[in-house]
C-alpha cells in the first residue's frame, strides 16, 4: 500500500456487502480530500505557480466507481447503507457504456449503464459528489466475466476535476499542463443529457495515488477541443480506434432509418413520448425501436426523458431530420443511407478501375439514373437544397452587396441552380436584384414553384437547358457545387460557356469545398472520395481551380470561407478577354 494513504477502494468480493464497502471507502475519500492536495499526488512535480494556476482553474469534484447491482432496488439499498441519497433516477451513461462495449467486445445495446451523483460535503465544507456508474447485472445475464474483470482492474475508477469558466483556450491550456506532467489522453466524450464534455487522462506512472485515471469535466459542448484530445488517444489505442471507424456504417444506417421511419416527425423537443406510443405512431416493434433509440441517443439525435419511463425527446440535432424543419436534412439522410450507401460498397471497384461505383452498381451515371426515376430525382434535388447551411453568409458577399446597391437593378444568374434554394436566399436579402435560373427542363418547373411560393416569382425568369445555354447580360453569375461534379476537361467547357456569356463587368462566384493546401482536416477530403465513387467528379485545391479559370479566360481574384468547410471563389474575366 502506498505511504501517502491516498488509495482507491480495493476490489472486493462479488457480494452486496462488498459493493457497500467499496462505495463507503469512496465516500470517505471524497469527504477527506481537496484540490490542492490531490493535484500534486496525481501529477508528480506539479508545484508552485503551475499548481496554483491549475487549482484556480479547476476544482476536485468527485471520485467515481463502477458498481454492479442486479436491479435498481439493490442499488438503492447500497446507497442507503452508505448514507447517500440519490439525486434522481439513474441517467444513461453514454461514455462508460461505449467504453465497456469496446473493452469487452459487447453490443452497447446489451449494457444498461446508469449514472448517479449523490452529494457529499467535504471536511473543508466544499460540495462534492460520488459519481456512481451502475451496470445492471440481472441473474443469468452472462455478464459475470465482464464484472470480474472490471472489479479487478477498476478501469472506471477515477478522480474528476471540474473546470470553472471553460473556453477553448483554457481547456487546451489545461490539457497541455497535464501532458507536461505525464498525464496521457485516455478517451472522453460529450454527454448530451447534461450538456457536458469529459476529457479522460491516464495518470503518470509516478502518481502517488492508486487512482490511475483522472477526468476534466467542462460544462457545455466542447467537441472541437475534444476532437484533438481523442485523436491523440486513438494514436495510442489503434485497435479501439479502428473498431470505432469500422462501425461508421451503423451510424449512417441508424440515421437513415430514423429518417425513413419519420421518428423525428413523431417526437418533440420539449415533451417526451413513451416507447409504446412512439412505436404505434410510426408502425414499429417496440423492442426493436428501443434498440435503435438507444443507439440514436449515443449519437445525440434523441435524449431520454427523465420524467417519463421509456420516454424520449428530440434534440436539436435530431430535429434536422424532421420533414417540416426549415432546413431539413432528412433528404440527405435518405440519399446517403440509400443509393449512395449502396454505391459506396463498390469503392474498391472504383479505385481499381476508375469507374464510378454508382455506375457499376446501377448501370448509369447518377444524373441519368435519378432523372429516369421521378422520386429519386426529387430526392436528389431536395438533398442538394438540404446543404443550404453552407450558403448562410453567401448573400452578404461583397459582390452581391454591391449588386444589390447598384443604381439600376442587377441580375444574378444561377447556373445549374437546382430547385432555386440558393437563388431564393439571395433574392430574400436583396430586394432589388433579379434572378435567372438555368437548369434541366424537369427541374426548372420545380424551382419555379418553389421560388414563386417564396414570393420571388415576379423577379425571376427561368431557362431550361444545359451549360451551352448560359444567358448573357447578367451582372453576377453563380456556379454552386457544380464544377466538382466533372473532370477537368468538362469543367473547362462549362467555364468557357460561362466566360463567353459574361459581360466585362460581371462577377462569377464559384462555391465548392476546396481541398486545403496543407493537407489539414476538412470535409472536402471526405467529399473528394464521395465525388470519385458516386459522381465521377472530384474536389480540388484553390490553385487547381485557378488553372481551370485561366484556361477559360478567367482570373481568380479572391476567396472567402463558408460554413461546413465551403469556400466561395471570386472570379472575373481576364483583362485580355474583356
Residues marked active site are found at 484
Query: How far, rounded to the nearest angstrom, does the alpha carbon of residue 10 sit from its chain's CA centroid?
Result: 38
Give the Å distances, CA to CA, from 389 to 152, 394, 523.
49, 10, 14
Rounded-to-integer distance, Cα 174 and Cα 305, Å: 33
Tell me the longest C-alpha to C-alpha distance in the chain. 88
The helix/strand/coil state of 143 is coil
Cα-trace Rg, the chain = 29
Query: How far, rounded to the nearest angstrom, does the alpha carbon of residue 351 sit from its chain's CA centroid?
Result: 28
The helix/strand/coil state of 157 is coil
The helix/strand/coil state of 127 is strand
The helix/strand/coil state of 215 is strand
CB 318 within 8 A of CB 267: yes
Give the Å distances, CA to CA, from 509 to 314, 487, 523.
37, 19, 20
448530451: which residue's cell? Answer: 192
Measured between its terminal Cα atoms, the distance across the chain in Å is 84
Helix 48-57 and helix 35-42, axial crossing angle in degrees, nearest 10:
120
Comparing C-alpha atoms, which of 424, 429, 435, 416 is closest to residue 475? Answer: 435
Set of cell numbers at residue 241: 480506434
CB 380 within 8 A of CB 335: yes
CB 46 within 8 A of CB 181: yes
The continuous run of DSSP H or E covering 532 comes out as none
The continuous run of DSSP H or E covering 30 comes out as helix 16-32
Rounded-to-integer distance, Cα 555 and Cα 575, Å: 9
H helices of 387-474, in order, are 398-404, 421-429, 441-453
Give the Å distances, CA to CA, from 542 to 270, 513, 569.
44, 10, 8
469535466: which residue's cell? Answer: 217
Rounded-to-integer distance, Cα 398 and Cα 575, Å: 21
List the beta bridge partners of residue 303: 313
469496446: which residue's cell? Answer: 102
Set of cell numbers at residue 84: 447517500
Amino acid at each position: 500500500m502506498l505511504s501517502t494513504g491516498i488509495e482507491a477502494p480495493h476490489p472486493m468480493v462479488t457480494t452486496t456487502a462488498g459493493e457497500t464497502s467499496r462505495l463507503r471507502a469512496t465516500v470517505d475519500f471524497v469527504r477527506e480530500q481537496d484540490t490542492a492536495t490531490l493535484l500534486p499526488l496525481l501529477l508528480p512535480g506539479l508545484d508552485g505557480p503551475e499548481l496554483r494556476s491549475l487549482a484556480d482553474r479547476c476544482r476536485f469534484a468527485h471520485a467515481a466507481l463502477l458498481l454492479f447491482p442486479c436491479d435498481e432496488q439493490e442499488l438503492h439499498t447500497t446507497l442507503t447503507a452508505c448514507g447517500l441519497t440519490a439525486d434522481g433516477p439513474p441517467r444513461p451513461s453514454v461514455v462508460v457504456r461505449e467504453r465497456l462495449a469496446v473493452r469487452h467486445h459487447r453490443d452497447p445495446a446489451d449494457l444498461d449503464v446508469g449514472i448517479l451523483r449523490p452529494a457529499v460535503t467535504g471536511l473543508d465544507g466544499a460540495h462534492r459528489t460520488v459519481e456512481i456508474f451502475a451496470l445492471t447485472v440481472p441473474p443469468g445475464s452472462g455478464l459475470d466475466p465482464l464484472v470480474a474483470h472490471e472489479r479487478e482492474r477498476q478501469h472506471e475508477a477515477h478522480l474528476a476535476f471540474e473546470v470553472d469558466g471553460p473556453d477553448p483556450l483554457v481547456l487546451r491550456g489545461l490539457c497541455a499542463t497535464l501532458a507536461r506532467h505525464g498525464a496521457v489522453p485516455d478517451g472522453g466524450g460529450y454527454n448530451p443529457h447534461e450538456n457536458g464534455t469529459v476529457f479522460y487522462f491516464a495518470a503518470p506512472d509516478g502518481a502517488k495515488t492508486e487512482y490511475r485515471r483522472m477526468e476534466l469535466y467542462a460544462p457545455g459542448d466542447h467537441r472541437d477541443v475534444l476532437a484533438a484530445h481523442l485523436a491523440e488517444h486513438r494514436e495510442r489505442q489503434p485497435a479501439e480506434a479502428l473498431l470505432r471507424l469500422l462501425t461508421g456504417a451503423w451510424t449512417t444506417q441508424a440515421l437513415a432509418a430514423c429518417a425513413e421511419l419519420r421518428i423525428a416527425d413523431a417526437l418533440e423537443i420539449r415533451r417526451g413520448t413513451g416507447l409504446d406510443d412512439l412505436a404505434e405512431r410510426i408502425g414499429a416493434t417496440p423492442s426493436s425501436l428501443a434498440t435503435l433509440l438507444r443507439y440514436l441517443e449515443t449519437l445525440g439525435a434523441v435524449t431520454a426523458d427523465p420524467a417519463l419511463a421509456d420516454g424520449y425527446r428530440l434534440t436539436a440535432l435530431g430535429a434536422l431530420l424532421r420533414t417540416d424543419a426549415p432546413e431539413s436534412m432528412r433528404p440527405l439522410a435518405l440519399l446517403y443511407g440509400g443509393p449512395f450507401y449502396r454505391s459506396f460498397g463498390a469503392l474498391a471497384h472504383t479505385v481499381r478501375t476508375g469507374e464510378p461505383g454508382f455506375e457499376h452498381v446501377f448501370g448509369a451515371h447518377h444524373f441519368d439514373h435519378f432523372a429516369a426515376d421521378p422520386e429519386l430525382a426529387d430526392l436528389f434535388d431536395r438533398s442538394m437544397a438540404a446543404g443550404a447551411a453552407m450558403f448562410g453568409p453567401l448573400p452578404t458577399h461583397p459582390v452581391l452587396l454591391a449588386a444589390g446597391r447598384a443604381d439600376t437593378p442587377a441580375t444574378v444568374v444561377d447556373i445549374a441552380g437546382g430547385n432555386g434554394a440558393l437563388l431564393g436566399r439571395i433574392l430574400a436579402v436583396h430586394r432589388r436584384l433579379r434572378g435567372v435560373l438555368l437548369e434541366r427542363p424537369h427541374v426548372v418547373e420545380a424551382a419555379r414553384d418553389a421560388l414563386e411560393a417564396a414570393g420571388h416569382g415576379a423577379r425571376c425568369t427561368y431557362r431550361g437547358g444545359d451549360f451551352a445555354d448560359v444567358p448573357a447580360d447578367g451582372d453576377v453569375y453563380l456556379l454552386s457545387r457544380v464544377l466538382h461534379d466533372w473532370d477537368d476537361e468538362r469543367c473547362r467547357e462549362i467555364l468557357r460557356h460561362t466566360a463567353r456569356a459574361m459581360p466585362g463587368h460581371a462577377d462569377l462566384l464559384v462555391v465548392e469545398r476546396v481541398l486545403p493546401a496543407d493537407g489539414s482536416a476538412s470535409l472536402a477530403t471526405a467529399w473528394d472520395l464521395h465525388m470519385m465513387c458516386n459522381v465521377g467528379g472530384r474536389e480540388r485545391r484553390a490553385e487547381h481551380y485557378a488553372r481551370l479559370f485561366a484556361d477559360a479566360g478567367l482570373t481568380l481574384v479572391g476567396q472567402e470561407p463558408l460554413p461546413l468547410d465551403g469556400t466561395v471563389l471570386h472570379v472575373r474575366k481576364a483583362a485580355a478577354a474583356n
